Amino acid sequence: MIIDPIFSPRRCVMRGACGFSNGLVQNCPYDGPPLPLTNRTLLDDLQQYCPHLFRGRIILEEKFDFI
């Protein structure tokens, strides 16, 4: 059976930071839906470093679940 990803619910597998290994940050396992970004500083940084994500769009918190 082939499942069309367009109609499958979006899920995340990692979120946040749980610790370090060999000097690298290790993400935490997470099995849930995408959560909106609410930190204005992080949103500003994201817009600065990834402006292509913001071009031609009105960005609302609800829209960040696709990232």
pTM greater than 0.75 (yes/no) = no
- Domain contains 61: yes
What is the per-residue pLDDT across 16-64, written as a single tens digit (0 to 9) for each?
888 889 988 888 888 888 888 888 998 899 889 988 877 765 555 544 4
36 contacts 64 by C-beta, under 8 angstroms: yes
67 CB neighbour count, 10 Å cutoff = 10
- Domain contains 44: yes
Residue span of the structural domain in which 45 resides: 12-66
Number of domains the chain is built from: 1
- Domain contains 51: yes
- Domain contains 39: yes
